[in-house]
Structure 1
Amino acid sequence: MDILVIISQALLYVCFSILAGSFLLLLIPSNYRPDVKIPKYLLLISTILLPIFAFAPVLDITLFITPRLGLFESLTIVLTTYTVGNAWCFTLICSVLLIFVIALTRSNEQRMSAFIGIVLTFGLILTVAWSSHAGAMIPLKGIINHFIHLTAISIWVGVVLVVGWCAINHNNWLPFLSWFSKVAIGCLTATAISGVLLTNVLVDGYIDSWTVSYGQGLLVKHLFLIPLIFYALFNGLIVKYLISRDDTFNPIPWIRLEGFILFTIFTITAIFTQQSPPHGSNVTNDAVSPLFRLFHDGIIDSGSTLDFVVNINIVFFFFLFLLLLGLIILSIYKKASIIIPFLLSCFMVVSIYVMLMISVVIR
């Protein structure tokens, strides 16, 4: 069941991104973006799947209490008394409204329906934030921060995915970059600030949380921000220079690569959000992450703290990181398939992760 919930949450974020990115692009005048062909069925499928994917946590809780109360009564209790069930009911209502908006839209009403659609999409994101860990722990602050975090990343990912896979040309790419670069910077800033605030809500100490699976997920997610920022800068600065010198240069594969990194971050987020956030006395030796155990087999309890040391192994992995970064730049220069820089980016993240893990000591 845990695997089902993880997959459903990752795909839920993708659906949010497709909807947010599509509606935003439809609101932008055509001379400020490449020509995009967004199939109506893509929007309908994304909207229909939203309540299905969002139902996975509800089903998980329902099946947990079913042996005591029976399936129907358990489902009724979860939907009417649990926050995750209440939030899902609103998710279903907003999804139905959005389906009608998309289905009834005519070609000459796209901008108006896009405005309504993006408002409903933000409403759907709010229902997910309402049922989040942060929303349960500190209702108002947690919900607001989670909403900002998920909205910002959905807009950024959405535009990247829709342009990367639905653009039929790269016309008006420089005008597109002129506004999207600012949007991406704003989304990154909002994501970073809300992420820090969420981390402060969910964990007692960021570095100490690395001992458990939730903290490991946070760390890996944050490490993937390194190649993400690199490709975002490449698409925003280097591509602009290349297009200004060569009108035939096709930037779409490179924005697809940025989308791959963003989807990887989504998947990691879906995995670690299903773990319980660590809080002081909750951290026991049995709760230590198997990943952390690969590097440290000492006894860990609620009183344990993590510190850092420097040794020759750390220097080796740091130079490995620089080598992989150089190979990524070389693969871009040689116009290699985007799979190669993507795999090199994953190896680069692994090298930084190992470097951090071997530098940690338990106090």
Structure 2
Amino acid sequence: MDVFVIISQLLLYLCFSILAGSFLLMLVPNSHRPDLKIPKYLLLISTILVPIFAFVPVLDITLFIAPRLGLLEALKIVITTYTVGNAWIFTIIASILLVLVIALMRANEKRIYTLIALFLTLGLILTIAWSSHAGAMVPSTGIIGHFIHLTAISIWVGIVFIVGWYAVNHHNWLRFLSWFSKVAIGCLAATALSGILLTNVLVDGYVDSWMVSYGHGLLIKHLFLIPLIFYAMLNGLVVKYLISKNEIFNPIPWIRLEGFILFTIFAITAIFTQQSPPQGGHITNDAISPLFRLFHSGIIDSANSLSLVININIVFFFFLFLLLVGLIILSIYRKASIMITFLLSCLLVVSIYVMLMISVVIR
């Protein structure tokens, strides 16, 4: 069941991104973005799938308690008394309203319908934040932090995804970059600040949390921010320069590359947010992450803590890091396939990850 929950959360985040990105781009004047062809069925399907994917965690809890109470009674209790069930009811209501708005959307009144649809999309994101781990642990701070975090990343991913796959040309690209660069910076800042807020809520010590799967997920997710920021700068600065020198230069593959990195971060978030946060410092030997075990064996418990030290092995991985950075720059200069550049980016993250793991000392 855990696999289905992970997949459902990943697809749920993707649906939010499609909706948020589409509605925001519809509000942008045609002169400040490339021409887009966003099919209405994409918006309808994404909206219909939101309550379906949001129901999977509800079903997961229901199946857990069903052997004692029976399936229907367990489902009734989860929906009426559990936060995740209460939130799902509001998800259903907001999704139905959003389907109606999209279906009734007319070209001559498109702006007002789009504003309503964007408001309902934010409402859907709020229902997910309400039912999150952070929302359950510290309702006020957790819900606000999760809402800002998911909204910011959905807007960023959504714009990149829609422009990357549904733009029919790259007209007005410089005007598009002039405002999107500011939006991306704002989303990055909002994601970082809300991420710090959520980290303080969910974990007692960031480095110590690397011992368990939840903390490991946070670490890997944060490492992928390094190539993400690099490609965001590439799209905002280098691509802008190349277009100013050569109007026929096609920038769409590079925004797709940024989208691949963002989607990877979404996938990591979906995988590791299903793990229990190490709140309260209660870490047992059985709870240690299998990935952490690859580098550190032996008995580990709550009395242990982690610290970072520099050793000779780190020097090797640091030079490997520099080599991979050089290869990424070379692949961009040689206009290599974006998949090659993406794989090099993944290797870059792996090199930094291994460098950190071998520098960790258990005390």
Q: TM-score, normalization: structure 1?
A: 0.99
Alignment match, 2:305: 305
Alignment match, 2:259: 259
In structure 2, what residue type is equivalent to 1:97? L
Contact conserved, 2:204 with 2:281, CA < 8 A, in 1? no
Q: Residues 217-256 of structure 1 correspond to what in structure 2 (within 5 A)?
A: 217-256=217-256
Contact conserved, 1:206 with 1:215, CA < 8 A, in 2? yes
Distance 1:96 1:211, change over 3 A: same
Structure 2 CA distance for aligned equivalents of residues 229 and 106 of structure 1 = 38
2:38 is paired with a residue whose SS is: coil
Structure 1 CA distance for aligned equivalents of residues 8 and 331 of structure 2 = 34
2:206 is paired with a residue whose SS is: coil
Structure 1 CA distance for aligned equivalents of residues 308 and 84 of structure 2 = 39
Q: Does 1:130 align with 2:130?
A: yes
Q: Does 1:282 align with 2:264?
A: no
Contact conserved, 1:280 with 1:302, CA < 8 A, in 2? no
Deviation of 1:27 (Å) = 0.3
Alignment match, 1:20: 20
Structure 1 CA distance for aligned equivalents of residues 40 and 109 of structure 2 = 13
In structure 2, what residue type is equivalent to 1:194? S
Structure 1 CA distance for aligned equivalents of residues 72 and 359 of structure 2 = 51
Which ranges of structure 2 fall in alignment gaps of 5 or more residues? none
In structure 1, what residue type is equivalent to 2:206? Y
Alignment match, 1:60: 60
Structure 2 CA distance for aligned equivalents of residues 107 and 42 of structure 1 = 17
Contact conserved, 2:122 with 2:151, CA < 8 A, in 1? yes
Structure 1 CA distance for aligned equivalents of residues 279 and 127 of structure 2 = 25
Deviation of 1:108 (Å) = 2.1
Deviation of 1:300 (Å) = 1.2
Structure 1 CA distance for aligned equivalents of residues 64 and 298 of structure 2 = 34
Structure 1 CA distance for aligned equivalents of residues 62 and 339 of structure 2 = 40
- Aligned pair count reads 363
Structure 2 CA distance for aligned equivalents of residues 216 and 109 of structure 1 = 48
Structure 1 CA distance for aligned equivalents of residues 131 and 113 of structure 2 = 27
Contact conserved, 2:27 with 2:111, CA < 8 A, in 1? yes
1:143 is paired with a residue whose SS is: helix
Offset from partner CA, 1:84-117 (integer Å, 9 cap, x none): 0000010010000000000111222222211111
Deviation of 1:308 (Å) = 1.3
Deviation of 1:293 (Å) = 0.4
Structure 1 CA distance for aligned equivalents of residues 111 and 317 of structure 2 = 51
Deviation of 1:279 (Å) = 2.1
Deviation of 1:236 (Å) = 0.4
1:361 is paired with a residue whose SS is: strand
Contact conserved, 2:129 with 2:144, CA < 8 A, in 1? yes
2:259 is paired with a residue whose SS is: helix
Structure 1 CA distance for aligned equivalents of residues 57 and 111 of structure 2 = 34
Structure 2 CA distance for aligned equivalents of residues 307 and 69 of structure 1 = 46
Structure 1 CA distance for aligned equivalents of residues 108 and 322 of structure 2 = 52
Offset from partner CA, 1:138-186 (integer Å, 9 cap, x none): 0011100100000001001100000000000000000100001000000
Sequence identity (%):
78
Alignment match, 2:177: 177
Contact conserved, 2:44 with 2:99, CA < 8 A, in 1? yes
Alignment match, 2:349: 349
Structure 2 CA distance for aligned equivalents of residues 346 and 243 of structure 1 = 27
Contact conserved, 2:209 with 2:215, CA < 8 A, in 1? yes
Moved over 4 A (4+): none
Alignment match, 2:164: 164
Q: Does 1:42 align with 2:42?
A: yes
In structure 1, what residue type is equivalent to 2:340? I
Deviation of 1:281 (Å) = 4.3
Contact conserved, 2:15 with 2:47, CA < 8 A, in 1? yes
Structure 2 CA distance for aligned equivalents of residues 342 and 291 of structure 1 = 22
Offset from partner CA, 1:26-55 (integer Å, 9 cap, x none): 000110101011000000010000000011
2:307 is paired with a residue whose SS is: strand
Structure 1 CA distance for aligned equivalents of residues 307 and 255 of structure 2 = 38
Structure 1 CA distance for aligned equivalents of residues 118 and 275 of structure 2 = 30
Deviation of 1:298 (Å) = 2.5
Q: Does 1:191 align with 2:191?
A: yes
Structure 2 CA distance for aligned equivalents of residues 143 and 155 of structure 1 = 18
Contact conserved, 1:26 with 1:114, CA < 8 A, in 2? yes
1:55 is paired with a residue whose SS is: helix
